Structure 1
Amino acid sequence: MRNQTRPALLGACAAAALAVMGAGGWLAIAPRAAQTAQAGVAAGAANRLAEGPEFERCVALLRQDPEAARAHATAWEAEGGGEGARHCHALALLAMGEPARAAQRLETLANRSEAASAARAAVYAQATQAWLMAGDANRAYGAATLALTLAPEDDELLVDRAVALGILGRYREAIQDLDRALGIEAGRAETLVFRAAAHRHLDQVEQAARDIDRALALDPLNAEALLERGILRQLRGDSTGAREDWERAIQLAPNSATADLAAQNLALNEAGPARR
């Protein structure tokens, strides 16, 4: 199920795909790929395209000095480093703030690799996240779909594709993927928050509220869930409750995209009636 077919990303955090009141779309998240740049890939051999000391050295460099990691990967590839060198090179580009170049390399690598399905799905997952960072939801959707052909029961891949669908305004399809993800891993607050946001965009406020209640029962300190509950409260005319939720979200996740959204919503709340 969870993390069976994709890399675990050190320092990865649940990221929200939530709308600001008045902005109309999902927030194009800071997805887990942001931490890929620091973390490399997980230790499990089933999720890797390469093993050995050169790959381990490259992964270590990714955490410390991405430019050095890219230089190492380039030299290693020239010496016949193959897929391991190309994978590390792509992750180094991501760490250096070049997500579109990284995404293209990751997707090409997964397309051409002869590795096991689990490893290829993991690389497609990284490409998905990198395309999201690059602001290309269509390419992210395509990469996630390719990953899911290899790992159809990966709940995190389903969530990633749902995020891309939400950015594209395809909320009903996003809910279908999130339903599937929750059928595989029911206890993930992040997935419930995503589904609540999708329901809200379809004016299904009661369904959204149920999902947020479940998310906060699982994780009472989830800043993204509090942000979304505040939006729902504002839509129901509870400005005081909305303000409390947004202030709490800022306290829990300062200096984050979630805090920025909460602050924007607080400003809109002070300025006048709720807008969508």
Structure 2
Amino acid sequence: MTRPIQMTTVIILCALSLTGGMAQGETTLDAHMRYKACMDKVQTHAEAAFDDATTWEGLGGGYPARHCALAALVKIGHYGEAAQGLEKLADLVHANKAFKAKLLMQSARAWIATDDPQHAAAVLDAALTLSPGEPHILLVRAQAFALQGAYDQAVENLSLIIEGAPGTDKTFVDATLGVDALVLRGAAYRQLDKKDLALADLDQALSLDPNHPEGLLERGIVHRLAGHNEAARADWKQLLDTAPKTDAARAAAANVHMLDSGLEGGE
């Protein structure tokens, strides 16, 4: 795994304190509805959402308006500005510790996108002091460690998620989170040359989500390293069939080409 699995940035729809966050003439309900509408718009029309949010902020929209503007910057791809802004907002906002931690997690994702995993890890340490053991934060911190090549520390964080799942069969409360954690831990185990442990995690992840793109890519790599070329080809072909437009599929296509050409593949 040359880079960690990139998870989609999560925009948290959560009520911020609206102290100082209402434009003239707005009620609290109006402000909450405007905040939700703005955050929804980020997902489909990020640039327009940014314009709306900055206009709203200029009219006295306060922290909710600022959060929507920063979320839009993440979606647009202005990661550095968003990372700094979200980190500052977490310090300033009137909200509970759990929400502040989520803002810091969003900031850390943006720092990762700027190729600064060290800063991301520091921000995530602060997030975990506010929300100890929060599994989504642990997952992002594992990504930050993996980006730095600290695979043992990545495994430690992921194990806290996986082994903390209720039930002996590891039935996750958040199924997507559980699968992502298993896939990323499998990738980290591969980097640590623990192929049996990697394969066990990847098999379990794919039993829960058979078409997980990064899971199929990683399991194919582990099979290839073990000399099981046909098993590797099967995983990569399945990925190409089920998620052809993903980054994982592009890597799989390159690996299939190398396999067909008799070259070394698996990265």
Give the TM-score taking structure 2 as reference length.
Answer: 0.84
Distance in 2, matches of 1:219 and 1:275, equals 22
2:149 maps to which residue? 169
Cα distance, 1:54–1:220 mapped onto 2, change above 3 Å: closer
2:54 maps to which residue? 74
Is 1:127 the counterpart of 2:107? The answer is: yes
For 1:139-178, list aligned pairs within 5 A: 139-178=119-158
Cα distance, 1:146–1:237 mapped onto 2, change above 3 Å: same
1:240 maps to which residue? 230
1:222 corresponds to which letter in structure 2?
H
Residue 3 (structure 2) aligned to one of 18, 23, 26: 26
For 1:115-264, list aligned pairs within 5 A: 115-185=95-165, 186=170, 187=172, 188-264=178-254
Q: Summarize deviations over 1:19-55 as a string: whole Å, max 9, x none.
A: 2xxxxx224x44321xx4xxx432x54xx45562331
Q: Summarize deviations over 1:56-98 as a string: whole Å, max 9, x none.
A: 3322432343223222222222232221121111112122221
Query: Please, what is the CA RMSD of the aligned residues?
Result: 2.0
Distance in 1, matches of 2:189 and 2:35, equals 43
1:41 maps to which residue? 12
Higher relative contact order (CA 8 A, sep 6+): 1
1:268 maps to which residue? 258
Does the CA contact (< 8 Å) of 1:233 and 1:239 recur in 2?
Answer: yes
Does the CA contact (< 8 Å) of 1:141 and 1:161 recur in 2?
Answer: yes
Is 1:93 the counterpart of 2:106? The answer is: no
2:92 maps to which residue? 112
Q: Which runs of 5+ in 1 are unaligned?
A: 1-18, 20-24
More deviation, 69-78/202-211 = 69-78
Distance in 1, matches of 2:17 and 2:217, equals 39
Does the CA contact (< 8 Å) of 1:100 and 1:130 recur in 2?
Answer: yes
Q: Which runs of 5+ in 2 are unaligned?
A: 19-30, 173-177
Q: Per the alignment, in what secondary structure is the counterpart of residue 38 of structure 2?
A: helix
Cα distance, 1:196–1:64 mapped onto 2, change above 3 Å: closer
Distance in 2, matches of 1:206 and 1:193, equals 14
Does the CA contact (< 8 Å) of 1:102 and 1:127 recur in 2?
Answer: yes
Does the CA contact (< 8 Å) of 2:224 and 2:266 recur in 1?
Answer: no
Give the TM-score taking structure 1 as reference length.
Answer: 0.81
Distance in 2, matches of 1:63 and 1:273, equals 40
Distance in 1, matches of 2:222 and 2:74, equals 35
Q: Per the alignment, in what secondary structure is the counterpart of residue 184 of structure 1?
A: coil
| Alpha-carbon shift at residue 182 of structure 1 (Å) | 0.9
Larger radius of gyration: 2
Distance in 2, matches of 1:204 and 1:168, equals 19
Cα distance, 1:270–1:124 mapped onto 2, change above 3 Å: same
Sequence identity (%): 34
Aligned length: 244
Distance in 1, matches of 2:194 and 2:73, equals 40
Moved over 6 A (4+): none
Distance in 1, matches of 2:257 and 2:43, equals 38
Q: Per the alignment, in what secondary structure is the counterpart of residue 163 of structure 2?
A: helix
| Alpha-carbon shift at residue 198 of structure 1 (Å) | 0.5
Cα distance, 1:144–1:49 mapped onto 2, change above 3 Å: farther
Does the CA contact (< 8 Å) of 1:32 and 1:129 recur in 2?
Answer: no
